[in-house]
């Protein structure tokens, strides 16, 4: 016979518990091991609630349903178990059935279960009470000091095991947290790397695209057989699409802070409609505009144009299948807001889709035709401007999209610019661009617009020419080896040349930090590569008016 069965039991409990690092597992192991103590005791284990205000039954062996219910949650400081939790001292009750320490709420259950002898010991870890361990039995026989010591020793083991489990889960949590932040960091780094790459790619792709688009636009100005004209138009569309992909890549990969400048919504609308004019015309979409006098809004013009482009694009796509349509775009002040309305006479929006339009990746279009990002990106942009964007179906068919932006900055009213912008007088334009072909195509486009063009292939050459001959406007590439566009402008200023005021910055990445710095310094207008003849004409108009 084992000379000390209690010691053996304790060893079993200790070795089992020390292997467990999970709280639930510790509780289960502890209670199972305890029944080995005498075999017929009823045991229960309570743990303090996280706030420390109550005790919760976390495990038991042999409790009747009634007892389990009466013991589910116990107050601290009251009743035998509550007192042990409060004092941290072991409590031995001779007869639970008659003891004043038995809670009135539990007495019936205790009597019914025939519990007499009872002992409760605290579970501690690092000097703090975590809970209690109780044993009861159905004979009127007090627990012996040896049994009590065994129970206390077991409770100590449980305390240590619980503390280990807590430490372990805390460590695990911290590890998870670390892993998560590390993943985020890697993600952010990857995005930054894509941003860098995109910026480089944008430069490399937009330069040849400028040449391609420019050359084709020049060709389209000539007498051509209709079949050739059709094919060239496809090339124009596909080149424009490539440019859009590059722009989107830039926009998504790099988070540029939105710039806030006073801008005329009518101008923005006009620019976007210019951009889409050709495609709309091809699909027999008539464009009706109505620009009412409206104060400027403070906004990031590029982002607002992106929103408008998405709305016009959607309207176009909705009307295209029918082969004709009317696109109505209005700008007007509306109860204290600047409002843009984009209306089409397409099929409208199915009622069940109205709520989902602005969800990312919600699309009803075929793969390749729509990614479902247009409206969600637009929604985000408008929200960032403290504005509103919503959709409705029009009473007489078709969809209506509304953008409202708050007026901001100094409240001055500007006249809506006339719908037909007068063409400018013939200008002498200096083109500073390091890529030979790009410089050539810009020069030819300028000549076609009735201007004269002089090319300079780097900043120093440009300065020399500007000093030697008077020019009306200079178009300068921002990113050039040697002298950058920004430095070129600074040199013009340093030399007191009036041309500095009529500088246009050109770039494949309109939102690069270099461009932002150059524009912030000079207030000069931007020409994004690649561009249409209309955009080139428009930027010249802006430049000469400065």
Ligand X SMILES: Nc1ncnc2c1ncn2[C@@H]1O[C@H](COP(=O)(O)OP(=O)(O)OP(=O)(O)O)[C@@H](O)[C@H]1O
Interaction site with ligand X (CB under 6 A): 310, 314-315, 318, 344, 346, 349, 353, 357, 362-365, 370-376, 399
Our CB check for ligand X shows the closer of 128 and 244 to be 244
Our CB check for ligand X shows the closer of 372 and 408 to be 372
Query: Which of Mg ion, ligand X, none interacts with 344 (beta carbon under 5 to 8 A by kind)?
Result: ligand X
Please compute, for residue 56, the number of CA atoms within 13 A of its CA located in the half-sphere on the CB side: 8
Query: Which of ligand X, Mg ion, none interacts with 337 (beta carbon under 5 to 8 A by kind)?
Result: none
Our CB check for ligand X shows the closer of 353 and 534 to be 353
Our CB check for ligand X shows the closer of 34 and 327 to be 327
Our CB check for ligand X shows the closer of 216 and 287 to be 287
CB 42 within 8 A of CB 66: no
Residue selected from 90, 217, 268, 314 as contacting Mg ion according to rule CB under 5 A:
314
Our CB check for Mg ion shows the closer of 71 and 314 to be 314
Least separation in angstroms between residue 375's CB and ligand X is 3
For 99, the 3-state DSSP assignment is: coil
Query: Which of ligand X, Mg ion, none interacts with 318 (beta carbon under 5 to 8 A by kind)?
Result: ligand X
Determine the residue with CB nearest ligand X: 374
Our CB check for ligand X shows the closer of 68 and 322 to be 322
Give Cβ neighbours of residue 458 (< 8 Å, ≥ 6 apart): 432, 434, 480, 481, 482, 483
CA distance 387 to 334: 13
| Residue list 477-496, contact with Mg ion (CB under 5 A) | none
Least separation in angstroms between residue 279's CB and ligand X is 14
Query: Cα angle vertex 320, ends 213, 286, to 5°?
Result: 80
CA distance 185 to 179: 10
CA distance 475 to 527: 8
Note the Cα 418 to chain centre separation in Å.
39
Least separation in angstroms between residue 371's CB and ligand X is 4
CA distance 40 to 26: 21
CA distance 263 to 331: 13
CA distance 263 to 296: 5
Our CB check for Mg ion shows the closer of 401 and 489 to be 401
Query: Which of ligand X, Mg ion, none interacts with 538 (beta carbon under 5 to 8 A by kind)?
Result: none
CA distance 162 to 405: 58
Determine the residue with CB nearest Mg ion: 374
By the rule CB under 5 A, 306 interacts with Mg ion? no
Q: Would you put residue 290 in left (φ > 0), alpha (ψ -120 to 50) or beta?
A: beta
Least separation in angstroms between residue 165's CB and Mg ion is 53
Query: Which of ligand X, Mg ion, none interacts with 372 (beta carbon under 5 to 8 A by kind)?
Result: ligand X
- Is the Cα dihedral 72, 75, 81, 85 positive or negative? positive
By the rule CB under 5 A, 374 interacts with Mg ion? yes
Least separation in angstroms between residue 378's CB and Mg ion is 8
Least separation in angstroms between residue 162's CB and Mg ion is 57
According to DSSP, the β-strands at 91-93 and 117-125 are antiparallel
- Is the Cα dihedral 14, 16, 20, 26 positive or negative? negative
Least separation in angstroms between residue 365's CB and Mg ion is 8
Query: Which of ligand X, Mg ion, none interacts with 363 (beta carbon under 5 to 8 A by kind)?
Result: ligand X
Q: Would you put residue 62 in left (φ > 0), alpha (ψ -120 to 50) or beta?
A: left
CA distance 117 to 142: 5
Our CB check for Mg ion shows the closer of 164 and 314 to be 314
By the rule CB under 5 A, 303 interacts with Mg ion? no
Least separation in angstroms between residue 397's CB and ligand X is 10
Our CB check for ligand X shows the closer of 142 and 373 to be 373
By the rule CB under 5 A, 378 interacts with Mg ion? no
Least separation in angstroms between residue 372's CB and ligand X is 4
CA distance 257 to 260: 9
Least separation in angstroms between residue 361's CB and ligand X is 8
CB 341 within 8 A of CB 402: yes
Which residues form the interface with Mg ion (CB under 5 A)? 314, 374
């Amino acid at each position: 016979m084992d000379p000390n069965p209690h010691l053996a039991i304790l060893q079993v409990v200790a070795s089992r518990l020390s292997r467990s690092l999970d709280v639930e597992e510790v509780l289960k192991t502890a209670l199972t091991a305890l029944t080995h103590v005498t075999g017929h005791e009823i045991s229960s284990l309570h743990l303090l609630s996280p706030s420390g205000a109550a005790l919760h039954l976390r495990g038991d062996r042999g409790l009747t349903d009634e007892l389990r219910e009466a013991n589910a949650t116990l107050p601290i400081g009251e009743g035998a178990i509550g007192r042990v939790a409060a004092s941290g001292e072991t409590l031995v009750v001779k007869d639970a059935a008659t003891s004043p320490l038995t809670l009135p709420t539990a007495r019936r259950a205790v009597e019914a279960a025939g519990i007499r002898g009872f002992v409760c010991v605290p579970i501690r870890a690092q000097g703090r009470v975590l809970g209690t361990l109780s044993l009861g039995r159905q004979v009127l026989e007090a627990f012996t000091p040896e049994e009590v010591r065994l129970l206390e020793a077991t409770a100590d083991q449980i305390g240590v095991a619980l503390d280990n489990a807590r430490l372990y889960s805390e460590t695990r949590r911290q590890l998870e947290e670390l892993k998560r932040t590390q993943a985020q960091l890697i993600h952010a780094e990857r995005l930054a790397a894509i941003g860098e790459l995109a910026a480089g790619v944008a430069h490399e792709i937009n330069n040849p695209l400028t040449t391609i688009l420019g050359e084709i636009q020049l060709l389209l100005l000539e007498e051509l057989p209709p079949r050739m004209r059709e094919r060239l138009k496809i090339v124009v569309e596909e080149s424009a699409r490539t440019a859009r992909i590059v722009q989107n890549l830039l926009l998504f990969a790099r988070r540029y802070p939105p710039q806030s400048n006073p801008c005329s919504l009518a101008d923005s609308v006009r620019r976007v409609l210019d951009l889409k004019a050709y495609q709309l015309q091809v699909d027999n979409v008539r464009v009706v505009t109505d620009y009412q006098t409206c104060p400027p809004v403070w906004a990031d013009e590029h982002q607002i144009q992106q929103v408008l482009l998405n709305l016009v694009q959607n309207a176009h796509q909705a009307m295209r299948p029918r082969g004709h349509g009317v696109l109505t775009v209005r700008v007007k002040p509306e109860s204290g807001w600047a409002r843009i309305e984009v209306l089409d006479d397409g099929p409208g929006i199915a009622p069940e889709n109205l709520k989902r339009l602005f969800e990312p990746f919600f699309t009803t279009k075929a793969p390749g035709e729509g990614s479902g990002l247009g409206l969600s990106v637009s929604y985000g942009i408008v929200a960032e401007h403290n504005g509103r964007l919503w959709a409705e179906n029009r009473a007489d068919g078709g969809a209506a999209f509304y953008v409202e932006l708050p007026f901001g900055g100094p409240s001055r009213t500007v006249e809506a610019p006339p719908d037909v912008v007068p063409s400018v007088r013939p200008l002498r334009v200096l083109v500073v661009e390091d890529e030979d072909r790009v410089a050539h195509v810009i020069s030819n486009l300028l000549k076609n617009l009735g201007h004269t063009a002089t090319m300079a292939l780097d900043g120093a050459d440009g300065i020399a020419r500007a000093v030697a001959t008077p020019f009306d406007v200079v178009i300068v590439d921002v990113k050039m080896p040697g002298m950058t566009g920004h430095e070129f402008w600074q040199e013009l200023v340093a030399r007191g040349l009036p041309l500095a005021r009529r500088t246009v910055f050109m770039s494949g990445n309109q939102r690069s930090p270099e461009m932002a710095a150059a524009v912030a310094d000079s207030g000069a207008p931007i020409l994004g590569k690649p561009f249409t003849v209309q955009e080139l004409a428009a930027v010249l108009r802006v430049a000469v008016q400065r």
